[in-house]
Chain A
């Protein structure tokens, strides 16, 4: 099912900084991430570790202003997104990649009806289409809304976002993302802001869409369980760097990086066993991050070399990369 050769997205050594009082927040510090065609990739890590920033960089939709990309490349089908012309970028957004945001309430424009918003996505995406559609924009919108199992799609079109529940809004967002064919979906913690049961429905819906359409997906999630169920490969992110990547089976059986170990240990077991151990401490300051490994301050097995320079990803076994000096000895 996986095609090892066809690399769809390849992020190499991506750095993203935000300008603030007193200098730059060095949020991303060399992110490496690869998505093959048809692959389902999970990205896990605690809040504020730069997952959303990475994803927004792929589409070049970081809020305009004080961000800065000092180095790195984002290759999509062999072409560097950071060097794309305006037209190419537009095509990338319209036909290749779509992102589903974490909070559907913030992701929908509050002052336009659903029909206008989804209709415009379809309308401007059609400009890049080779063969013409016979259906009208309205018919296509209804089709997309039906595909995400929204009841009464006709009426849905004339509703404003505030008339819908959170789960419905997230379905609308998914409908917008799949209203025209895409090769890669980015789902940024879809449903984290929703009830657990609704979250589960959204996840199942996403899974179904990915299965049916054979698209690749990057799924950002807090839940290691979801990542295990739904993905072919998991990337673990900590403070703006990828610290470990492997298939779910390998990762859960043989975690190597101390952060991954801690992350797995902090999942509460439904079978009991009390409060989990977790990882003491918190994310380092992005303003003055420690030189070297960004996890050193929370790591129990520190070594002098950890504070010298950041560890590079290193293959500990086939398809299992870890960025930690402790494994390289």
Chain B
């Protein structure tokens, strides 16, 4: 690996905590990010989805179609200039409903990650710093239990036992989401704890709090951010899967999975009722994946 400035004294360098360099190196980071066209594509898709979801009531052609609206004269219209993605069995504009469905999907992703990531990361940080003690053992074995079954299965079970609402779907997914961050941060923190700058801080008598949050945590953050960007896509997927089987946002509020499922009953004649919501799911996951990959390339300073 070639670095632009070759270290002369590696020990001296490693005693100093690497700074969180994101803002200081904005130009360099942007170069790394934008070097890959796909990252830009991801950014554009994500920005498009977020902006259109926020301004949905103003930019969609038929905002009232995102609710209990029925227009029996216009049921099952194929895609046209009036209805970009056609209309559904109630005569509602599918395009408008998709944009509104993004709202629920994004809210779910943001809420799930906002609630699941901090405790997950904190547990991982603690276990990583106190590695090979009972604290490590207890935290990581509990994490193992939650990781032993894929999140979708337990989320389905939890959501099914509760009442089918968006709120309960969010609870179910959140319960399954934190252990992944515990494991991620655990791996990072346990290797960072053995770095010289942490040992040096320990020897100079820094408090545990300082070491955990000022020395170790900042060095674990970039993979966490990368994973969060990727996970927005995956939470949207799980949310869509739950709503596909009817566990999530209930009609008439639109949800992506529910639209795919409802539309599939009218295949193949009214294919657009299924295909366009399905494509919307794919587009959202694709966008967040590309963005996440771009962030990873940016944070991981490697020359490829």
The reply to whether A and B meet directly (CB within 8 Å) is yes
Residues of B near A286 (CB, < 8 A) are 4
Residues of B near A285 (CB, < 8 A) are 4-5
Interface residues as binary, B91-135 with A (CB distance below 8 Å gives 1, 0 otherwise) = 000000000000000000000000000000000000000000000
Q: Provided the pairs A20-B303, A65-B304 are in contact, do residues A25 and B4 lie with their beta carbons within 8 angstroms?
A: yes
Asked if A22 contacts B303 (CB within 8 A), the reply is no
Query: Does A329 belong to the interface (CB within 8 Å)?
Result: no
Asked if B6 contacts A287 (CB within 8 A), the reply is no
**Per DSSP, are chain B's interface residues mostly helix, strand or loop, or mixed?**
loop
Query: Does A87 belong to the interface (CB within 8 Å)?
Result: no
Asked if A283 contacts B6 (CB within 8 A), the reply is yes
Query: In the complex, which range does the number of interface residues on chain B fall in?
Result: 10 to 19
CA separation between A40 and B2, bound complex, in Å? 30
Count the A-B residue pairs with Cβ separation under 8 angstroms: how many? 27
CA separation between A283 and B4, bound complex, in Å? 12
**Per DSSP, are chain A's interface residues mostly helix, strand or loop, or mixed?**
loop
Chain B residue nearest to A53 in the complex (CB): B2
Residues of A near B5 (CB, < 8 A) are 285
Query: Does A132 belong to the interface (CB within 8 Å)?
Result: no
Query: Does B22 belong to the interface (CB within 8 Å)?
Result: no
Query: In the complex, which range does the number of interface residues on chain A fall in?
Result: 10 to 19
Interface residues as binary, B1-37 with A (CB distance below 8 Å gives 1, 0 otherwise) = 0101110100000000000000000001001100000
CA separation between A72 and B31, bound complex, in Å? 31
CA separation between A65 and B304, bound complex, in Å? 7
Residues of B near A21 (CB, < 8 A) are 4, 28, 31-32
Interface residues as binary, B259-282 with A (CB distance below 8 Å gives 1, 0 otherwise) = 000000000000000000000000
Sampled A-B contacts (16; CB under 8 Å)? A18-B2, A19-B303, A20-B2, A20-B4, A21-B4, A21-B28, A21-B31, A21-B32, A22-B28, A22-B31, A66-B303, A282-B8, A283-B8, A285-B4, A285-B5, A286-B4
Show the binding face of A for B, using Cβ within 8 Å.
18-22, 25, 47-48, 65-66, 282-283, 285-287
Show the binding face of B for A, using Cβ within 8 Å.
2, 4-6, 8, 28, 31-32, 303-304
